[in-house]
Structure 1
Amino acid sequence: MFTHHYAVWPKHLPKSLPLPETSLVTNLEISARRYPARPAIIFYDTTISYAELLSEVESLAGWLQKKGLKKGDRALLYMQNSPQYVIGYYAILRCDGIVVPVNPMNRTTELEHYASDTDAEFCLAGYELMSHVSPLLGKTSLKHIVVSAYGTRLRAPTDLELPEEVATSPGRFDEGCTNWDEALQSGHKPTPYTAGPDDLALIPYSSGTTGAPKGCMHTHRSVMTTTVQRVVWNSATVNSVQLATLPFFHVTGMQASMNGPIYIGGTSVIMTRWNRTVAAQLIERYHVTGWANIVTMAVDFLLNPELDRYDVSSLTHIGGGGASMPEAVAAKLYRLTGLHYIEGYGLSETIAATHTNPPDAPKPQCLGIPMFDVDSRIINPDTLELLGPGEVGEIISHGPQVAQGYWNRPDETAAAFIELEGKRFFRTGDLARYDDNGYFYMVDRIKRMINASGFKVWPSEVESMMYQNPLVQEVCIISSPDTKRGETVKACVVLSADADPQTAEQEISSWCKSNMAAYKTPQVFEFVSALPKSSSGKIMWRELQEQEHHKIGH
């Protein structure tokens, strides 16, 4: 067991944390029973109590079961942050089903993979996303799409600036789609649920070197782990109020801003789209105590020239990840709030954090120390030899939050784990080192991954999609340094014989924007006559990557 960090472990916390032997649905039921009138959600000045939240979850679950959703079935959740997201998430679980969270930036081609890979027959979607998913009815396993416009859940007047997706009233529904409100008002009641801690609850998708995203199988127990651990680590209570700006499909947003507050009976103040002024207004208005975000969001918040107009003194915890927090920005945050930005580290495979910084002893630009019951090591990625302090190698982690494996991918599951000292360790693919006090520091990545404003972009996935375009003969995706996003996506392209060099960039760029999520879409193009290849014919992506960094001077 890794114990180097015990010297800096928070003195008021145990090193091991027993977990509830219940399901996530139990968390909602208990909080609704304990605090029926307390606000579970605040959505642009509309308050939803725990009693109301549970009632709507039960109503939607009843409709889903009536239409055939049963234990073990997968259901896509394709929405932006909203009360409907929370209701849909828990309604699927209430049916003993498995939630498949889908990035709302994904488009039809990407959605088709998720539906086909999981054999999902149900999808809960935002109204603004309906046109991207409805073409899959009859083409894939999808049989039922329930659609909601987020603004229909507003019940109180507000002076807050509403994002377009919330302000827009719904119009016509695509053929085959069901109006969310009609499903809720159908009057069906769900049967008693039976899911326990070792039943599958969630399949968030992560990509890899094979190109196609793969689902991480999480049980109620593994999701419960980071739900409970974060709450305890941050000393959160029923009085805690979380500002929810990270998307709920993302494991950090899901755990920090949705499942965590529900577990303790706290409040989640939900924003559908990021707006730094609205964020400041909400912090002041609802005395927000905690805010999990990505670094680019925190930087934008602090750059607001009118920030001094708002009282943000209620904040007691602010942190996140996605990239290292620049020291100058962290210092500005500390001057404003008296708070250190608490950085952490986790993956979809670990349903958020395996490492985080101690609240009383954080280090800047640091992944933190292993959490409760997490055993993390550094190994030589080639020989699997254990390495010591200061030596750079691959992070491997063992803990109750680690996924069971990848959905329908036994070979990739086997390759992702190794056994050490009788334990099953997950290979993260991240190169790091740790110091004498057990703090971990990121050094590099083994996997080909681009981190664009906190969004993970897997080059092989983008390449796989771009090869569908007849104008592209060959393509290699690399990262290009970007002052705002940290990294951005660059495509090195060999055009096909049919392509017009004068119009190709615009045509390919437009095609990419129509067929893939915006954060994956190449922002920079370089057209070349040939790509460098090894003697075996493989494209030498690392050579192109090194040339790009040298050219930009990064």
Structure 2
Amino acid sequence: MTTTNMMPVADGTAPGSSLEPLAGLVGGPRVDHLLTAAARRAPDRVALRSATEEISYAALEALTDRCAAMVQGLVDGPGEVVAIAGLMDPEFAPLFFGISRAGNASAVLNPFLPAERLAHVLTTSGARVAVLSPEMYERIAEVRGRAPLLETVVLTRRTEGLDALPTLDELLAAAPGSADPAGVTEDPDALACLQFTSGTTGSAKACRLSHRNLTVNAAQTVYAQQVDESSVVFNCLPTFHLMHLTLAVTAVATHVLWPGADSVASVRAADRLRATHYYSLPVRLSRLAADPLLTGLEAPALRAILSGGSSLPKQAALALAQQFGVPVVQGYGLAETSPSMHLGTPDRPKPGSCGQAVPGGETRIIDVDTREVLPAGAKGEIQVRGPQLMQGYLGQPGSRSRGRPGAGTARGAPTRPTAVPVPPVRRHRCPDPRPARRAEGGERPVPTGRDRPVSPWPASGRSAVRCPVPYRREASRADGSPPAGERKPSPARRRARRSRTTRTAPSSVSRRCPPWSAAEALRAVRGRRAAAGP
């Protein structure tokens, strides 16, 4: 995708707008403080609405307090990671905010992951406690030996045959009304969440996102997409994404959850609920644009249709814009950028563009081989930085130490006065420009290559990461040479591509183990506490 309305400076960097307009939007210091502020401003406003229930901001705040107390009863203390399923259910919001309020960090899991990948992300996160759907538990039970750290599983609902496991409702009913604030940090640079990459280029990696990362990116998104207190955010996605939760709470807007795949039914529901911002995936929007029932649909309250995750075909965007009379805008980001880096704005839509860099963000293009900065409009590797960039990958060198504000700040990188400190430079490569085809419930786009470390931004002294893009082969000439203007891969790159092999699962035989019980979990927690001493 292209970008629009960028104004490069002398070194080729295209900055987003100033962070100053976000001064009144950035909440915190912790991400759960966003909810506390919203509950004070509009306690009776509907915060979450699903097909079965609606929850006000005051009720969501109280439920978050109870979730925090429940979490404190399951873990040893602040600083632990609790894994939660990213289900499109109202329970996700108080659970996520409650984990933060208890002084712990969330590891958000894609509920559609197969057993081996689910075991990988659980083990990578180091989570000893996980809140899973029954379907996810049955998958992980098949490979119990691959997740040896997991001790306690809480089910999102009661299911026949899994009576030994506690459910979320049962534990909440027995939990105190509020959590103990002792030992809970208010450091905005403390770890808030582990967000996993899609695993397109190998095993999924855990991105360490701080409270500041999440709160700033929520404000950046609210500002760019023009969400306010009167907005009704309609979330038509198969899984819960943190950006939609945090942006709605930051703006004190109403958040509607619609996990169903029927796009026509979702538009009718959005019209009935007076939705103003309709979020969905390109595959669903493309299907809606081609549906013969499209011409009979209307949603006069809509202000914008917003797409992300992969590129939306221009024809689909134009068809939807013409039918509903609203801008159709796209965004670009990564798990590493919390997730938004570029966002289209409703007042300046451009089909086929992923918009400008978010306020406080910076982007530039460099040559893949020479690492030289290229002019705007050139093809190459994207380098980005901003206050929403992650602290690093979990367990990999170069990540900033938790709780050290300003640690790892890039040396010699361009700076400007900002309202929020700029973290270290990270670099990411542009995704495949061809529209990615995503499975209806999945996170994985078309595979595009393999991650690899690259040299640091000049004079920064810091390493970086990249998001790969393949050599474009679809327009090659008959003799196999690249088209005019395209560069053929170097011999080293061709040898590396030929040498890549498909990863296979370990040969060890997975074994089915008995389910975790609440009693076993409680004994394990008490044992660790006794071993730690007073």
Question: Shorter chain as normaliser: what TM range?
Answer: 0.7 to 0.9
The SS at the match of 2:162 is coil
1:133 to 132, 140, 147: 140
Tell me which residue corresponds to 2:203: 212
Comparing 222-231 with 127-136, which one deviates more in the overlay? 127-136
Q: Distance in 2 between matches of 1:543 and 1:103?
A: 26
1:431-488 per-residue CA deviation (whole Å, 9 max, x = no partner) reads: 7xxxxxxxxxx7589xxx98667833585999xxxxxxxxxxxxxxx99x9xxxxxxx
Q: 1:226 aligns with which of 217, 224, 234?
A: 217
Where does residue 323 of structure 2 map in the other structure? 336
Equivalent positions of 1:66-145 (< 5 A) are: 66-68=73-75, 70-134=77-141, 140-145=148-153
Tell me the equivalent position of 2:430: 430
How far off its partner does 1:60 sit?
2.1
Cα RMSD, aligned residues only: 3.9
SS in structure 1 at match of 2:55: strand
Structure-2 change in CA distance of 1:245 and 1:331 (3 Å)? same
Deviation sequence 1:31-59 (CA, Å, 0-9, x none): 12222221111111521111222222222
Q: Report what 2:63 is aligned to.
A: 56
TM-score with structure 2 setting the length: 0.72
Q: Structure 1 length normalisation: TM-score?
A: 0.70
Aligned match for 2:192, one of 201, 205, 211: 201
Find the aligned partners of 2:378 and 2:7 in 1 and give their Cα distance.
Answer: 20
- Structure 2 distance, partners of 1:302, 1:108, is 34
Q: 1:379 to 1:350 in 2, by over 3 A?
A: same
Aligned position for 1:421: 413
C-alpha distance in structure 2 between counterparts of 1:382 and 1:356, whole Å? 28
Residue in 2 aligned with 1:400?
Answer: 387
Q: 1:534: Cα distance to partner?
A: 9.1
Distance of 1:147 and 1:399 partners within structure 2: 37
**Which residue does the alignment assign to 1:190?**
179
Q: Give the structure 2 partner of residue 181 of structure 1.
A: 169
Q: Is 1:277 aligned to 2:282, yes or no?
A: no
Equivalent AA in structure 2 for residue 146 of structure 1: V
Count matched residues: 437
Query: Which residue number corresponds to residue 540 of structure 1?
Result: 498
Deviation at 1:356, TM superposition (A): 1.8
The aligned counterpart of 2:308 is: 321
2:33 maps to 1:26 = yes
Q: Distance in 2 between matches of 1:220 and 1:315?
A: 31
**Alignment-mate amino acid for residue 237 of structure 1:** D
Comparing both structures, which one devotes a greater share of its residues to helix? 1
2:512 aligned partner? none
User: Unmatched 5+ residue regions in structure 2?
Assistant: 9-13, 401-408, 416-423, 451-468, 473-490, 503-534
Contact 1:82 1:270 in 2 (8 A): yes
Paired residue type of 1:197: P
Q: Which protein has greater RCO, CA pairs closer than 8 Å, 6+ apart?
A: 2
Deviations along 1:233-291, whole A, 9 cap, x unmatched? 22221121111123455xxx321x21111122211111233222331232122100001
- Give yes or no for contact 1:247–1:254 (8 Å, CA) kept in 2: no
Question: How far apart, in 2, do the equivalents of 1:293 and 1:328 lie?
Answer: 16
CA distance in 1, matches of 2:494, 2:311: 37
Asked if 1 retains the 8 angstrom alpha-carbon contact of 2:200 and 2:444, the reply is: no
CA contact (8 A) 1:211 1:458 kept: no
Residue 245 of structure 1 corresponds to: 236
Trace 1:385-534 onto structure 2 (pairs within 5 A): 385-410=372-397, 421=413, 424-430=424-430, 443=433, 455-457=443-445
Q: Does 1:296 align with 2:283?
A: yes
Q: How much does 1:331 deviate?
A: 2.0
Structure with the bigger percentage of strand: 1
The answer (yes or no) to whether the contact 2:283–2:437 under 8 Å persists in 1 is: no
Amino acid at match of 2:348: A
Are residues 210 and 391 of structure 1, via their aligned partners in 2, closer, same or farther at CA, if it must alter by over 3 Å? closer
**Other structure's SS at 1:83 match:** coil
C-alpha distance in 2 between matches for 1:43 and 1:351: 25
Tell me if structure 2 keeps the 8 A contact 1:75–1:123.
Answer: yes
Partner of 2:6: 5
